[in-house]
Amino acid sequence: MFIPISPASPRHPDHAAPGRPRRLILTAAPPLLLLAVPMVLAALYGGRLPDRVHIGNWAIDTTYEPTWRGWTSQPLLGTVMWCEALLVVSFLRYWRLPQVQRGLVAGSFLIGVAVPVSGVLWLPALADAPGAVARPVWHLAVEIAVTAGALALGWAVAGPLPPAPVATAAPPPYAPTMALGPWQRAMFVTSAWSARRLPAAAVLAALTAWAVSNGFGGWQGVALLALLTTFEAAQARTRLQIDGSGVTVSLPWLPVLRRTVPYPRVRFAEAMSAPLPGRYKLDDGEAGWGVVNGKGPVLALSLSDDRWFVYSTREAETAAALVNGWLSRQRQETA
């Protein structure tokens, strides 16, 4: 007889529950400003704008001159609904991942706070203007500052994440284990290349260059493309290090980006001949995270939140034995 296990059962506890209603509300609320701010601006300045103004999209594009009636008739309600649906569906998709939810709150604040700033800056300058108005240089500085501030504010108001569950049991007997003495120290370092990352980065770089040369969109879109290009190129080479602090993945071409799995979050390690089913990248997914480069052996860490960390390496057996060695010694000492 098959008995389904609910998400909140002891076997699969809901680690993301603390603070989740707060994160959901903060994800859904800011995009409403995309509708509220234009309505307020239209009420304040609508009667003082000329028939034709030098603004193509109320928040970003300023490359052509539509009529004021055309500007106010843009489908803002549809845009808001689309943003809301995208953010809320993404939140529900990552219901058990508070790290991703915090990122969604920051992204929501970016959309809801930073985007309307262009309209707030533009309309007072366009009111009673006899013709096209040149964009003041300080507008760009304010927009960049507000964008950074909106991201930081969203990250902060999302609140602290729930504490990660702690694993205390020793690795199972079948797991490969390297015996470590009380005073022994060991380190494992390897790296991996991804042939797929560089072509993808080249395509993004070409799109960025095209956007810059054609003046496509505002600076936000170009900046996002440039960041994606840099991040994609940096992932062409990754580095794995195992030491006393845990298991760390870093990007040698972008050293500021690194992620560490501390030992209290690891149940055990094993070497697998092929990656587990699921999506494994440097950002979190339902199955876990990590670096998978095609087929081949992987180091797999069973995490305390019922997910996995995986990393493609030919020395997966040695790496797993070292991780289990650290775990066995620490947890035997604790016991």
Q: Identify which has the larger pLDDT, 217 or 57.
A: 217
User: Alpha-carbon distance 74 to 82, whole Å?
Assistant: 14
Q: Six-digit token pair at 48?
A: 């003082």
- Determine the CATH number of domain 188-194+235-334: 2.30.29.30
Q: What digits encode the pLDDT tens for the residues 236-277?
A: 999 999 999 999 999 999 888 899 999 999 999 999 998 888
Candidate ranges 101-105, 122-126, 169-173; pick with highest mean pLDDT? 101-105
What sign results for the dihedral spanned by CA atoms 196, 202, 205, 211? negative
Which residue shows structure tokens 């845009």?
A: 79
- Cβ within 8 Å of residue 109, ≥6 positions away: 26, 30, 150, 151, 153, 154, 157
CA atoms within 13 A on the CB side of 84: 15
- The answer on pLDDT for 89 being more than 50 is yes
At 154, the pLDDT band (50, 70, 90 cuts) reads very high
The rounded distance, in Å, linking the Cα atoms of 222 and 177 is 49
Picking from 234, 239, 233, 304, the residue whose alpha carbon sits closest to that of residue 268 is: 304
Distance CA 282, CA 294 (A): 15
Question: Does residue 50 register a pLDDT over 80?
Answer: no
DSSP state of 246: E
Residues for the chain: how many in total? 335
Q: pLDDT (tens digit, 9 = 90+) per residue, 275-302?
A: 888 889 888 888 999 999 877 899 999 9
Ordered by start, the domain boundaries in the chain are 20-157, 188-194+235-334
Picking from 108, 80, 83, the residue whose alpha carbon sits closest to that of residue 22 is 108
Distance of CA 88 to the CA centre of its chain: 15
Q: Tell me, what's the pLDDT at 217?
A: 56
Residue 320 binned pLDDT confidence (cut-offs 50, 70, 90)? very high
| pTM as predicted | 0.80
Structure confidence at residue 27 (pLDDT): 96
Average pLDDT, the chain: 83
Residue 245 gets the label, from left (phi > 0), alpha (psi -120 to 50) or beta, of alpha
CA atoms within 13 A on the CB side of 86: 12
Termini Cα distance of the chain: 38
Written as one letter, the residue type at 164 is: A
Percent of the chain with pLDDT over 70: 84
Token pair for 280: 């494994």
Percent of the chain whose pLDDT exceeds 90: 42
Q: Write out the H or E segment, with its range, that includes residue 198.
A: helix 197-213
Bigger pLDDT: 157 vs 11: 157
Residue 218: the pLDDT is: 67
Amino acid at 87: L
39: which residues sit within 8 A by CB, 6+ positions away? none
